[in-house]
Chain A
């Protein structure tokens, strides 16, 4: 595997808010095109880590190198309500003559092309989240950060979104860091599942099975990961 440059290289990352240590001496490497899921309970520091990688937090100790373009999709779609759907996709890319076409192609991928000239408020929750994904992917990122992007969606929409994300990932092949608290989601999508607890990575599971995955093939890993998250067999029974 020589010659491959990692998209993320984090060494000894520490983040403190006053006396509280949110991330402690954390190491993490993400290879190009690798899909990594980061699980953790609320307050485990996973969002802090994502913010550091997104360049939204410069007050950190240690080393956090991101190579190439970074793009983010958040739990809330965070669209510009005063710009048409297609403009939301391509704004921020600088002035380019082909931006309308570029936007339409990106919208096509998330099946939103017919909404190109609508206002964002007319979109449903799932559609808005798809637009947010299109906006993130049109930047052809080397690293795609997903901050619980399905958290606010209903269960059926979430299933459809899982398939879409996997599909888009296979097509564009960015390195992905998916922050979530949904174990099944992580098992369905990720090459590698990390569990973060009190600012440290406490477990790492590599999943080798071919895609699309079936949860039934990963019952053991599921139990193990849930255990690392503090959910025991007793609680599951």
Chain B
């Protein structure tokens, strides 16, 4: 069930790329694009109402909406939401710090490249979600394995993009600024690091997508709190309506983080527009 949500999250960065230049495309949204989604929901509702789609397989949209309001009112949703968000935030901070530090080290220094890059390139071929059994053995079943999983999922795409962003800095600019008497430090701050920002933001978007994926998997395998717990618990009682509510919240969170990164891009890449 969680796969439909995760693929939505994974695709979010690519589908939004085309509309990321807000100033050039400020026309009204095409209302025709709403026809088929609304028709699909209507069809779903109709199938549920006529009994074609039994509620123990999938609840009707109306029931899902009611269930959503109910778990929101009892506070279950809020608590689960906070717990899950906290996990992603902690994992992201840890993973991003490590990735940026290693990416800069490998990008700037020959020895950094020689020592850091080979093991990272080897480890990144590991399907990181497959590490869950090991993580449970190492960290138990508390918060640590989930945070570690998120951190790991964040670290690889971010490292790769920071590293290549710095490696691919513009030789012509480096040469020009050298000839104009920039110090090493000035070259770093005004040429190399700003030049790596576009690629770093690509990495950031990818890594946030992976962060949610890692969280969902981590929480679904074992949890006693959070959105994953809400979903697993609902499954025990055949509450497909609550399951769908959890999935929708995951999707919304994914979209919100993607939106935040796009805001950040708009600000950081104003010079490109």
Binding site for B on A (CB under 8 A): 54-56, 69-72, 74, 76, 78, 80-83, 91-94, 119-121, 135-136, 139, 145
Is B18 an interface residue when CB atoms closer than 8 A count as contact? no
| B180 touching A119, Cβ below 8 Å | no
CA distance A135 to B180 in the complex (A): 9
| A72 touching B176, Cβ below 8 Å | yes
A-B contacts besides A71-B180, A78-B173, 4 pairs, CB < 8 Å? A72-B179, A82-B194, A91-B182, A119-B273
0/1 string, B180-211, CB within 8 A of A gives 1: 11110010001100110100000000000000
Known contacts A78-B172, A80-B173, A80-B191: A91-B179 contact under CB 8 Å? no
CB neighbours of B195 from chain A (8 A)? 82
Known contacts A76-B172, A80-B191, A91-B186: A139-B180 contact under CB 8 Å? yes
| B271 touching A72, Cβ below 8 Å | no
Interface of B is mostly: helix
CA distance A74 to B179 in the complex (A): 10
| B190 touching A80, Cβ below 8 Å | yes
Least distance between B258 CB and chain A CB atoms (Å): 23
Known contacts A55-B179, A80-B194: A119-B186 contact under CB 8 Å? no
Q: Which of B179, B181, B186, B272 contacts A81 (CB 8 A)?
A: B272
Least distance between A89 CB and chain B CB atoms (Å): 11
| B186 touching A121, Cβ below 8 Å | no
Q: Which residue of A lies closest to B270 (CB)?
A: A119
| A92 touching B270, Cβ below 8 Å | no
Q: Can you report 14 residue pairs joining A to B where beta carbons are below 8 Å apart?
A: A55-B178, A69-B181, A70-B179, A72-B180, A74-B172, A78-B175, A81-B271, A83-B190, A91-B190, A119-B270, A119-B273, A120-B271, A139-B181, A145-B179
Is B177 an interface residue when CB atoms closer than 8 A count as contact? yes
| A82 touching B178, Cβ below 8 Å | no
Of the four ranges (under 10, 10 to 19, 20 to 34, 35 or more), the interface on chain B belongs to 20 to 34
CA distance A145 to B194 in the complex (A): 27
CA distance A105 to B266 in the complex (A): 31
Q: Which residue of A lies closest to B181 (CB)?
A: A92
CA distance A55 to B182 in the complex (A): 13
CB neighbours of B271 from chain A (8 A)? 81-83, 119-121
Q: Which residue of B lies closest to A55 (CB)?
A: B179
Q: Which of B176, B182, B272 contacts A74 (CB 8 A)?
A: B176
CB neighbours of A78 from chain B (8 A)? 172-173, 175-176
CB neighbours of B173 from chain A (8 A)? 78, 80
Q: Which of B178, B182, B190, B273 contacts A56 (CB 8 A)?
A: B178
8 A Cβ contacts from B151-174 to A: 172-173
0/1 string, B229-273, CB within 8 A of A gives 1: 000000000000000000000000000000000000000001111
Least distance between A7 CB and chain B CB atoms (Å): 16
Least distance between A128 CB and chain B CB atoms (Å): 13
CB neighbours of A81 from chain B (8 A)? 271-272
CB neighbours of B172 from chain A (8 A)? 74, 76, 78
CA distance A76 to B194 in the complex (A): 20
Q: Which residue of B lies closest to A73 (CB)?
A: B176
CB neighbours of A70 from chain B (8 A)? 179, 181
Q: Which of A56, A83, A93 contacts B179 (CB 8 A)?
A: A56
| B182 touching A92, Cβ below 8 Å | yes
Q: Which residue of B lies closest to A135 (CB)?
A: B180
Q: Which residue of A lies closest to B198 (CB)?
A: A82
Least distance between B185 CB and chain A CB atoms (Å): 10
CB neighbours of A55 from chain B (8 A)? 178-179
Q: Which residue of A lies closest to B268 (CB)?
A: A82
Least distance between A67 CB and chain B CB atoms (Å): 15
CB neighbours of B176 from chain A (8 A)? 72, 74, 78
